[in-house]
């Protein structure tokens, strides 16, 4: 018996890479799978491969970026398999450029797929789950880039929004028994590594299949009671990512004018400035304090 026996799962962006790994592993674990990808040929190939190995799958070429199309992805699952028990919101676009060279049309496409696509497909899935009596799991694929990464401002912003969205949904859907978690996978895929040569050189611990077991667990009943979490997996490492929080010390004043704000930042708050970005870069003011002591 597989961990997903009897479940019906939708995986978006499943034509290759991480999405294909999630879809194939879900089928091998006993699930019936809707393999969604805007590239119809890729979706059909993955669905056929699942069928050849004894699994159940149907292909969908609808786009998540259109709410009516997103609805059709979920409707296909209920029509073909009778219900929807899980959704993996994986479809996404990458976009790398210095922020001052951002292209508005490309920004719009990235936001429509990476953020609105998650919203539209998630809404359709949660409505279906509620109509069938509640219960189910939504796994939204984010990225460690949501912490901030060079030349990935738009992509990072959408992935940060997915994390916030997941937390809000987790609160709203807990009474319905629907779990919502965000996964930040690290794997070498075509979206990140463009050349065939680099893809052939993928380290064994950075292949998409190394991340799939985490997603399967979150889709399964074994993850009951786990919701609202951000989980990062890079093949070798598995850990939770902390949610933003109000940091101590919290200073109080009857009136914050610019002079008192400056005193706060040159005094107590200066020592508590946060490293920023995925690379945890120190703010210049802190570097100025640390570097002289290193050379002394």
Q: Does residue 189 surpass a pLDDT of 50?
A: no
**Residue-level pLDDT at 187:** 64
Q: Strand 238-240 vs strand 230-233: parallel, antiparallel, or unpaired?
A: antiparallel
Domain limits, the chain: 8-240, 258-295
Quote the pLDDT of residue 289. Answer: 73
Structural contact between residues 20 and 44, judged by C-beta atoms closer than 8 angstroms: no
206 confidence band (pLDDT: 50, 70, 90): low
Q: Hey, is 33 helix, strand or coil?
A: strand
- Residue located via tokens 């920004």: 107
What is the pLDDT of the chain when averaged over all its residues?
92
Q: Which runs of consecutive H residues, i.e. helices, occur in 91-193?
A: 104-111, 117-131, 153-173
Query: 8-240, what's its fold?
Result: Rossmann fold (3.40.50)
Cis peptide upstream of residue 117 (ω within 30 degrees of 0)? no
Mean pLDDT of 62-91: 98
Q: What is the pTM assigned to this prediction?
A: 0.91
> Tens digit of pLDDT for each residue in 241-279?
999 999 999 999 999 999 999 999 999 999 999 999 999
> Rounded mean pLDDT of 165-170?
98
155 is catalytic: yes
DSSP alpha helices (H): ranges in the chain? 17-28, 40-52, 67-81, 104-111, 117-131, 153-173, 196-200, 212-219, 258-266, 284-295
Q: What is the mean pLDDT of residues 232-240?
A: 91
Q: Which of 22, 95, 120, 155 is catalytic?
A: 155
Is 217 a residue whose pLDDT tops 80?
A: yes
Q: Residue 156: which residues within 8 A CB-CB, separation 6 or more?
A: 143, 145, 146, 147, 148, 149
């Amino acid at each position: 018996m597989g961990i997903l026996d009897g479940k019906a799962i939708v995986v978006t962006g499943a034509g290759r890479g991480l999405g294909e790994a999630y879809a194939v592993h879900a089928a091998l674990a006993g699930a019936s799978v809707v393999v969604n990808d805007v590239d119809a040929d890729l979706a059909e190939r993955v669905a056929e491969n699942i069928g050849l190995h004894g699994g159940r799958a149907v292909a969908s070429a609808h786009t998540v970026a259109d709410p009516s199309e997103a609805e059709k992805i979920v409707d296909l699952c209920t029509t073909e398999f009778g219900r929807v028990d899980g959704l993996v919101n994986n479809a996404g676009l990458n976009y790398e450029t210095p922020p001052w060279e951002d292209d508005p049309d490309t920004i719009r496409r990235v936001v429509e797929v990476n953020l609105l696509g998650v919203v539209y497909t998630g809404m359709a899935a949660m409505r279906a789950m509620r109509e069938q009596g509640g219960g189910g799991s939504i796994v939204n694929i984010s990225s460690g880039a949501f912490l901030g990464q060079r030349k990935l401002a738009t992509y990072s912003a959408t992935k940060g929004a997915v994390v916030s969205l997941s937390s809000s949904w987790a609160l709203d859907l807990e009474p319905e028994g629907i779990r919502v978690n965000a996964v930040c996978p690290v794997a070498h895929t075509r979206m990140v590594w463009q050349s065939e040569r680099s893809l052939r050189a993928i380290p064994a611990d950075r292949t998409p299949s190394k991340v799939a077991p985490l997603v399967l667990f979150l889709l399964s009943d074994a993850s009951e009671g786990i919701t609202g979490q951000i989980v990062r997996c890079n093949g070798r490492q598995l850990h939770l990512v902390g949610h933003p929080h109000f940091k101590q010390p919290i200073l109080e004043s009857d009136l914050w004018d610019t002079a008192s704000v400056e005193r706060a930042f040159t005094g107590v708050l200066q020592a508590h400035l946060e490293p920023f970005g995925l690379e945890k870069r120190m703010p210049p003011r802190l570097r100025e304090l640390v570097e002289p002591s290193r050379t002394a």
